[in-house]
Structure 1
């Protein structure tokens, strides 16, 4: 896999590929993104609150791994850069959840259903937001919590 291309940060297409398990690399965000998608898929099968809590704790640990990697790799912010409301790891986790929901909708409802369209549209919005965020972080216009 080629190196991340937005100021050293993963691009949205790279993360979507990682969710699928394709184009994996040694970079932490990609391994964790793939694992997050798998945990979101597994979470939908669970009904026991204890098992769900354990799985969510594993998700939180993966989010922290992404955030630790980002803290080392992200460009330093400029004074006055706007603070984003959530960490990049949390954004990747939401994208993984949305990617799983969109794929499950296509499997259950078919490609032409309104429900499927709604899920894929939501994922597209998250992808656009993620791209804007990492572009702003790389450009020094925005900073992430903990930076």
Structure 2
């Protein structure tokens, strides 16, 4: 089973979680986004390469673990690894990058994070029911 949104958000923040490959990757993705914020653009290539490895690992795990989608299942616009990476970025931004920002800026980021987490929850529900498939580049 895929971890739910609340457990995933906790993993991004480094909180203890059950041993699950997606949660392990999520925690590392959040750390990489925090590191990337402090790293000059010219030196961030190795960070982005590692992020890509983690996203592909998430995608491979989902392909092996999720039920085969129905033949008429709609294809999602991005892979689960892409979505988890975007969530990690927004979570890192909300909890670390905007710690001293004005409340309105923090609130806007929190709303984006909440909406994205809802999208993640809907996608995993759809994947498990077979109503949604992932893009073919998720291999």
Q: Once superposed, which parts of structure 1, at least 4 consecutive aligned residues long, lie more than 3 Å away? A: none
| Residue 84 in structure 1 maps to residue 76 in structure 2 | yes
Q: Which residue of 2 aligns with 1:144?
A: 134
Moved more, 133-142 or 97-106: 97-106
Deviation at 1:104, TM superposition (A): 2.6
> What count of residue pairs does the alignment treat as equivalent?
137
TM-score w.r.t. length of structure 2: 0.92
CA RMSD of aligned residues (A): 1.4
Residue 137 of structure 1: how far off its partner (Å): 1.1
How far 1:24 moved relative to its partner?
2.5
Tell me, which stretches of 5 or more residues in structure 2 are unaligned?
A: none
Does residue 40 (structure 1) correspond to residue 33 (structure 2)? The answer is yes
118, 125, 139: which one pairs with 1:128?
A: 118
State the distance in 1 between where 2:16 and 2:53 align. 23
State the TM-score, normalized to the length of structure 1.
Answer: 0.87
What residue in structure 1 maps to residue 63 of structure 2? Answer: 71
1:44 to 1:106, Cα distance in 2 relative to 1, 3 A: closer
Q: CA deviation at 1:106?
A: 4.4
What CA distance in whole angstroms lies between the structure 1 residues aligned with 2:119 and 2:113? 10
SS of corresponding position for 2:44: helix
